Amino acid sequence: MLAALAISSCSKTSLTEQQPQSIVSAAKVANGSNENGRESARPVYYDGNLVTVNMVELSDDAAAKIIANNTSTNVIYAYNDLDEPQDFNSVIDAIPTDGFNPLWLQMLIVFNTGFAPHQFFSDEEVLDAESGSNPEITLVNTGEIYRCSVIGPK
């Protein structure tokens, strides 16, 4: 499946409506100064495989509009806000060959009392950990939207 992973770029033209260039905030990117370059790349898990993505946070105004009007965003599950160092690699729920959309809603993984933090490897594992009568985690919707590129395997 990773062999089928093609480079996929995301841009403001992927939004449901044409938006001015200003929708991209002064990106809060963990690794560097170039919000659109390889410096902001990070490894994430997708279905047990590490892939490399580039994430750029959109402005609060753009995020609110997307959340209100776009029902097809993907989800990135993060242990800390994406502009902070991560305790573990984040997890994504799609790649270009499997339901990919360039707009990503950030959900924070918060471990409930009595459960040791650990790495998840797929969105299915994350969702399973959130369910049941004694859930291991709570997912917190940050209301933050990122545009992204899946730029290849790890």
Per-residue pLDDT tens digits for 21-61: 333 333 333 334 445 555 678 999 999 999 999 989 999 99
The DSSP bridge partners found for residue 8 are: 150
The CA-based dihedral angle spanning residues 33, 18, 53, 78, taken in that order and rounded to the nearest 10 degrees: 90
pLDDT of residue 39: 63
> Is-contact 82 106, C-beta < 8 A?
yes
Structurally, the chain folds into a number of domains equal to: 1
The rounded distance, in Å, linking the Cα atoms of 121 and 116 is: 16
Is pLDDT larger for residue 105 or for residue 18?
A: 105
Domain range for 60 is 2-153
Tell me: the pLDDT tens digits for 63-117? 999 999 988 899 999 999 998 989 999 999 998 888 888 899 999 999 999 999 9
